[in-house]
Structure 1
Amino acid sequence: HPKSYENGTHRVRLQKQALTEERNKPLDPEMQCLLLSDGKRSGHQNHVVILPADGGGGGIAAISFVGALKIPGVIEFSLCLLFAKLVSYTFLFWLPLYITNVDHLDVKKAGELSTLFDVGGIFGGILAGVISDRLEKRASTCGLMLLLAAPTLYVFSAISTMGLEATIAMLLLSGALVSGPYALITTAVSADLGTHKSLKGNSHALATVTAIIDGTGSVGAALGPLLAGLLSPSGWSNVFYMLVFADACALVMSEAAACGFQQVGKEAERGLVCASGGFLSPSAPKHPPVKWAE
């Protein structure tokens, strides 16, 4: 007569004859984990082990696109990266032409000189990572560097005509302040948001969150050079005004993310919020505030 076997959410109804036939079949290579360390089958032949359908993910489904957007900070940091990438990629594509027109260098030397912006970005990314790890405040670190980047871009447009030395110094400084937040958001911030406490241990959101943030940033990467091409005939000063405005927008988004995380941290301390879109009773376990995003 039939027997019923249940494991978690899986229920399987098997006949004794079917069990006997399956027991006599050789094991599939993927089922070798059911063997003991000495290579023999388990002595409990009547036990049926059913593996989860998701391959060991604990039965937790991957987060949806809308669910990822509900994670605190994802939308804000996505828009922040959009504006940061807008500035960075505008420099990447238009800087050689700008140096050629302003410093009157040939194309080869202008191209070589423009790489200093990326060199500054290397040091800026390292500096942003060190500061954010020490302070445990990702959003505040991004906000500080973006705050300093806005006047730096304006000063760069003003003193780049004073000579080659001034141009080199401003390229290194601008690259560090612009690319630092860009590097931080695409790495540490994406990882932190993908493992946010509101997910309650669901680690299947990391790739989705990273894709949303980096994909939104790519919109800015395409939009920045396009706007620069439209504005450059009217003067390079208008291009730099656009870059300063974009940097200010990135600053606003990073501060909005910081304020949002502070609010979530306060609510978590009171035991009111347990996850994105869910609530706990006042007697629920309390979580510490999110220090890294303050």
Structure 2
Amino acid sequence: METRENGSTLPLLDNNVHNDQSFSINGKLNTKEKSEVKLNEDNESLKMEKSKESVSQEKIPYLKCYQFQCFALLWFGYCSAYFLRKPLGVVKTVIGDELELGMREMGCLDVSLMLPYAGLQILAPGLTDRFGSRKVLSVCLTCASLATFLTSFAGGFPLLSASIALTGLFLAPVWPASSQMLSSWFPDDKLNSVFGIISTATYTGGLGGTALAAIVLEYSGWRMVFVYASSFAFCIGLLLICLKTPQDRNIVVPDKKELISKDSTSKRSLLSFLKTTGVKELCVTIFCIKFVRHTMYLWLPLYLKKTLGYTNLEAGLLSTMYDIGGIFGSPLLGVTLDYFIPGAPLKGVSLCLLIGTLIVGCFMITATWGLLLNCTCLLIMGATNCGPDSILVGSISMDIGNRKAGGNGASVTSLCNGIGAMGGVVEGPAVWLVWQFTGWTGVLSLILCLTAISVITCFWTYIIVQKSDLKELQECLTEEKC
């Protein structure tokens, strides 16, 4: 007991009680300090976010200019790629006569172009994800133009086929690199429209390359055809080095989902990409679509002439209705998917392919009913075949690759486009065999069956991807609850 001066006593405080009280006071102080530190950290992170937003907002007024620059350069880049591909079909007969090539060598020239083009995309799909879209685009298009220039010096079949094969090899990564660059600059809810519009470069380049080849062949010979085409593509290839990604310009594109961290493509095999959710089914769909498209390009004029009795001029003009349908079908489908079927592009593409299947069956029945009906059927067939092609190997494959394959969208696009291009490689021999045994009825039946298969596999891809998304969402909710 402690004695006061007035004689009263007070109990002594226990040391433990004193320590507990001091501990509680210190604990309160520590808690207060911690809360202050946490508040400071939150303020700093908020300032960082605001600074990022301010940087992006400062750049936003120029965003549309950068998007237009990117779109224009990529459009001309992919257009120039078709300036390198299309002249061969125009000058092949003249080359064969001058170099004394047989039918066997002539047939091998097409394979020399398409087989390396498809093969490199299948066997090495990760080039763009590994080296970057700007480098791949500029280097590959420039090298492809040099290989095409080398074709003009060919004096025999070995050098001719080798230079054409090099052209196909260097053109292989151009579309996957273009897809990656394009998708990085535009919001996710506008990608279908953007890819639909940029696919017009395919048809514009095809028509321009064919016209250039025909005019130059008439006045300057077949060698100068490759010189002019390669010169145009070489200049565009040099311009593509000016392309930059939004990250290079420190721009945050609005309404753009943040990608998950990209896996190293050097550690991923072809089989691992094929095992990605929906990729196998998507590859089958694109293979069938491209097989049908190449069949229509190469065999439709012959069918119109031999079976329906049109003249060469009428058959040529009528077959262009298929091309016109493709030109308008791609952007129309892209806009429709973004504005009327948002968030479910695979479902919309499946519906489009189903309409195409019905029109093919209608064409088989009504082919002999007159010119107007044939024009209508071919126009719709072109729109419902070429439209889905550009969307599937563009925005959809990029989306699946980015979300399901560890951010490797360009790799999945390359794989899908390469397997699809194999449809163009095997189409010639396959259609010839069917025609030999069953005639034109068998060829049209083959087109109908492949179009129907594409409907099934495309819708099945939609179901698989939807199930995968639902499973990921459930796992995410479960982890949050835990």
TM superposition score normalised by structure 2: 0.43
Task: Indicate conservation of the 8 Å contact 1:94/1:225, yes or no.
Answer: no
1:198–1:93: structure 2 CA closer, same or farther, 3 Å change rule? closer
Which amino acid is the alignment partner of residue 479 of structure 2?
A: S
Q: Does 1:146 align with 2:350?
A: no
Q: Which residue of 1 aligns with 2:387?
A: 180
Aligned partner of 2:321 among 113, 116, 120: 116
**Who wins on radius of gyration, i.e. which is larger?**
2
State the 1:246 CA deviation. 0.6
Distance in 2 (CA, whole Å) between partners of 1:79 and 1:59 is: 26
TM superposition score normalised by structure 1: 0.68
**How many residue pairs are counted as aligned between the two chains?**
222
SS in 2 for 1:103: coil
Distance in 2 (CA, whole Å) between partners of 1:179 and 1:140 is: 17
1:248–1:285: structure 2 CA closer, same or farther, 3 Å change rule? farther
SS in 2 for 1:195: helix
Q: Which residue of 1 aligns with 2:418?
A: 215
1:107–1:59: structure 2 CA closer, same or farther, 3 Å change rule? closer
SS in 2 for 1:283: helix
Distance in 2 (CA, whole Å) between partners of 1:265 and 1:158 is: 42
Q: Greater strand share, 1 or 2? A: 1
Task: Indicate conservation of the 8 Å contact 2:333/2:388, yes or no.
Answer: yes
1:285–1:206: structure 2 CA closer, same or farther, 3 Å change rule? farther
1:282–1:173: structure 2 CA closer, same or farther, 3 Å change rule? same
SS in 2 for 1:162: coil
List aligned pairs for 1:259-274, cutoff 5 A.
Answer: 259-271=463-475
Question: Which segments of structure 1 move beyond 6 Å, counting only runs of 4 or more?
Answer: none
Q: Which residue of 2 aligns with 1:242?
A: 446
Distance in 2 (CA, whole Å) between partners of 1:160 and 1:194 is: 41
Q: Which residue of 2 aligns with 1:33?
A: none
Distance in 1 (CA, whole Å) between partners of 2:467 and 2:263 is: 28
1:206-244 deviation digits (Å, cap 9, x = unpaired): 221111100110122223333221222432111111111
Q: Does 1:170 align with 2:392?
A: no
Q: Which residue of 1 aligns with 2:429?
A: 226
Question: Which ranges of structure 2 fall in alignment gaps of 5 or more residues?
Answer: 1-130, 133-246, 248-260
Distance in 2 (CA, whole Å) between partners of 1:153 and 1:121 is: 15
Q: Which residue of 1 aligns with 2:157?
A: none
Aligned partner of 1:131 among 310, 314, 336: 336
State the 1:195 CA deviation. 1.6
SS in 2 for 1:214: helix
Q: Which residue of 2 aligns with 1:83?
A: 288
1:60–1:159: structure 2 CA closer, same or farther, 3 Å change rule? closer
Q: Does 1:257 align with 2:464?
A: no
Q: Which residue of 1 aligns with 2:478?
A: 282
Task: Indicate conservation of the 8 Å contact 1:120/1:174, yes or no.
Answer: yes
Which amino acid is the alignment partner of residue 270 of structure 1?
A: Q
Distance in 1 (CA, whole Å) between partners of 2:297 and 2:380 is: 15
Task: Indicate conservation of the 8 Å contact 1:117/1:172, yes or no.
Answer: yes
- RMSD, matched Cα: 2.8
Task: Indicate conservation of the 8 Å contact 1:128/1:180, yes or no.
Answer: yes
Task: Indicate conservation of the 8 Å contact 1:194/1:207, yes or no.
Answer: yes
1:19-53 deviation digits (Å, cap 9, x = unpaired): xxxxxxxxxxxxxxxxxxxxxxxxxxxxxxxxxxx
State the 1:198 CA deviation. 5.7
Task: Indicate conservation of the 8 Å contact 2:330/2:387, yes or no.
Answer: yes
Which amino acid is the alignment partner of residue 62 of structure 1?
A: T
Task: Indicate conservation of the 8 Å contact 2:273/2:405, yes or no.
Answer: no
Q: Greater helix share, 1 or 2? A: 2
SS in 1 for 2:478: coil
Q: Which residue of 2 aligns with 1:206?
A: 409
1:131-189 deviation digits (Å, cap 9, x = unpaired): 22121212111210111111211111221212211211111011111212112111111
Distance in 2 (CA, whole Å) between partners of 1:82 and 1:284 is: 41
Task: Indicate conservation of the 8 Å contact 1:86/1:225, yes or no.
Answer: no
